[in-house]
Structure 1
Amino acid sequence: MQHFVAPSSIVRRIWGSADTILFIFAGAAAEFALNKAVDWLYFTGRLPSDPLGRLFSTVDYARRIVFADQAAAEQAIDTIAAIHGAVEAKRGHAIPDWAYRDVLFMLIAYSMRAFEVLERPLTAAEREEIVEVFGRVGRRMGISELPTGYAAWRLAREQHLAQNTLLSSYTEDLYRQYERHLGWARFQLLRGVQGMVVPPSVRGWLGLPDGAWLRPPLALYRATRSFALSQWAKNAMLPAEYRDRIKDLDAQPAEVTPPPSRGSCPFHRAGAPTGLRRRAA
């Protein structure tokens, strides 16, 4: 059986852990709130009503791609693409090309940053592999002008951050929704995690703390995560009703649940990466 992502890949290690997944989406939720195309998140109206549910829907699809065989992964990507084409048709215009690349760049950037905050520095080969894997996802969806290596991606990423971020009324509303659904204490924890993983420019736009106060508990977590006690850290990040879903993020690939239906495509509904779709030929 041909896998879309090799079983030994660093990408599988990153996306097979609840720890790194939660940090990835914390960072992406911050950055996309500043994206100039964030209005697309509001078109369906589902993000403000259920940002946490949309997060888990996004995770389900991303893991389906990472852990699937080649054919199943491509089918999942094509489904996402088709749904986004329908959303664009309903709104009457297309999401900008640069917005699609921004989303893919976020997946790459926060996969790297979350792993390095929680685990260790990535090797040069691992960085190249992460860019290559998500590049294949993007090319399958028809996203144009994608960089083909880490150095080119890093340059393009800096250009996109400089050109495509803006503090807006959508930014403010998204953060109000995050706080409303998380509660004040968890919202402060979210902001701390975001401050640890986002680029300095994003931290400055949003007025995020640098997350220094989280380093001692994070060190404790690293020391205890091989024990059941480590679950406390993951549970602390989201309300109690999501605890079972958090545990599921640590499931082995064979345990991953079936993909969501066509109507639950995450990328235009979630509070994190959104907006990918396949270009018409």
Structure 2
Amino acid sequence: MNTTYFVAPGSIVRRIWGTADTVLFIFAGAAAEFALNKAVDWLYFTGRLPADPLGRLFSTVDYARRIVFADRAGAERAIDAMAAIHAAVEAKRGRPIPAGAYRDVLFLLIAYSIRAFEVLERPLTGPEREEIVAVFCRVGQRMGIPGLPTGYADWQAARAAHLAAHLVPSPYTADLYRQYRRHLGPLRYPLLRAVQGLVVPPTVRALLHLGTGAAVRPALAAYRRTRQLALSQWAKSTLLPAAYRARIHALDGAPAAEAALPPPTAARCPMGH
């Protein structure tokens, strides 16, 4: 019997989400943009995100990889569980998460999947960009998110509108960055900001007073020349503390099996709840 996958085995999405360095760059960018989103109060509702921002990162990675590498039924179970967790949080708080907040999350995953791969590897082709948009929009459709784009050009327009309308510095922004600093320490925190400056759009860079990533550009150039060698895997060895190193190395390649991923529970909500 042929297995049907949510994401085809040869998909560029699998290549992106099966490479630890690329995944870390995706979440460096997402961590910056999360901090500016007007709906960031939802990420603070249970207090789990500020208490353990690195743990939240890996929770989100677990969900994304479950969807990307599982068969269709397994991926749909993960998406349905994710939707149920959000519904429970909405019920507990007594109001719905805005549809725009869901779209923001999908849009930034699309944006940083594209940007991280292109920064670390090569420019994507038109069909590859279309495929990235299509995969994440299928996730959104399964979750019942309205107003999703129909293709890459449509997504670009919607993404620009979201960046213009949905980002604003707030006390949550400052607090989340204090947590990043506290959990990463004085050496890794500047590296995070440098990587963020490299991958985020100009709007985010300006609002967070990030540089252009000049500090990491020499390492990036070396990575591109030697990325097949062990010494080139610099991001996963330097961006996060040693306590997370085994989990980071496990991001290279597909998960061993769907069962190896943690069960979807409220403690592992990918939006930080």
Q: TM-score, normalised by structure 1?
A: 0.93
**Equivalent residue, structure 1, for 2:261:** 258
**Equivalent residue, structure 1, for 2:272:** 269
User: What SS does the aligned partner of 1:44 have?
Assistant: coil
Distance 1:231-1:151 versus aligned 2 partners, 3 A rule: closer
Whether the aligned pair in 1 keeps the contact of 2:69 and 2:254 (CA below 8 Å) is no
Once the 2 structures are TM-superposed, how far is the Cα of residue 262 of structure 1 from its aligned partner? Answer: 1.9
Whether the aligned pair in 1 keeps the contact of 2:13 and 2:132 (CA below 8 Å) is yes
Whether the aligned pair in 2 keeps the contact of 1:33 and 1:171 (CA below 8 Å) is yes
**Deviation digits for residues 85-141 of structure 1 (CA, Å, limit 9, x no counterpart):** 000000010111111111110010000000000000010111111111101000000
**Deviation digits for residues 60-83 of structure 1 (CA, Å, limit 9, x no counterpart):** 110000001000000000000001
Aligned pairs, number: 270
In the TM superposition, 1:146-161 aligns within 5 A as: 146-161=148-163
Whether the aligned pair in 1 keeps the contact of 2:85 and 2:269 (CA below 8 Å) is no
Match for 2:122: what amino acid?
A: R
C-alpha separation between the residues in 2 aligned to 1:73 and 1:150? 23
- Computed over aligned residues only, the root mean square deviation of the Cα atoms, in angstroms, reads 1.3
Which runs of 4 or more aligned residues in structure 1 lie more than 4 Å from their structure 2 counterparts after TM superposition? Answer: none
Whether the aligned pair in 2 keeps the contact of 1:221 and 1:233 (CA below 8 Å) is no
User: What SS does the aligned partner of 1:254 have?
Assistant: coil
Match for 2:78: what amino acid?
A: A
**Equivalent residue, structure 1, for 2:120:** 118
C-alpha separation between the residues in 2 aligned to 1:186 and 1:149? 37
C-alpha separation between the residues in 2 aligned to 1:19 and 1:84? 29
C-alpha separation between the residues in 2 aligned to 1:83 and 1:269? 11
Whether the aligned pair in 1 keeps the contact of 2:43 and 2:271 (CA below 8 Å) is yes
**Deviation digits for residues 234-255 of structure 1 (CA, Å, limit 9, x no counterpart):** 2110011001001000033435
C-alpha separation between the residues in 2 aligned to 1:32 and 1:233? 21
C-alpha separation between the residues in 2 aligned to 1:226 and 1:244? 19
Question: Once the two structures are aligned, what percentage of the paired residues are identical?
Answer: 70
User: What SS does the aligned partner of 1:246 have?
Assistant: helix
Alignment gaps of 5+ in structure 2: none
Q: TM-score, normalised by structure 2?
A: 0.96
Correspondence for 1:67 among 52, 66, 69: 69
**Deviation digits for residues 142-200 of structure 1 (CA, Å, limit 9, x no counterpart):** 00010110001000000011011101000000000000000111010000000011010
Whether the aligned pair in 2 keeps the contact of 1:64 and 1:259 (CA below 8 Å) is no
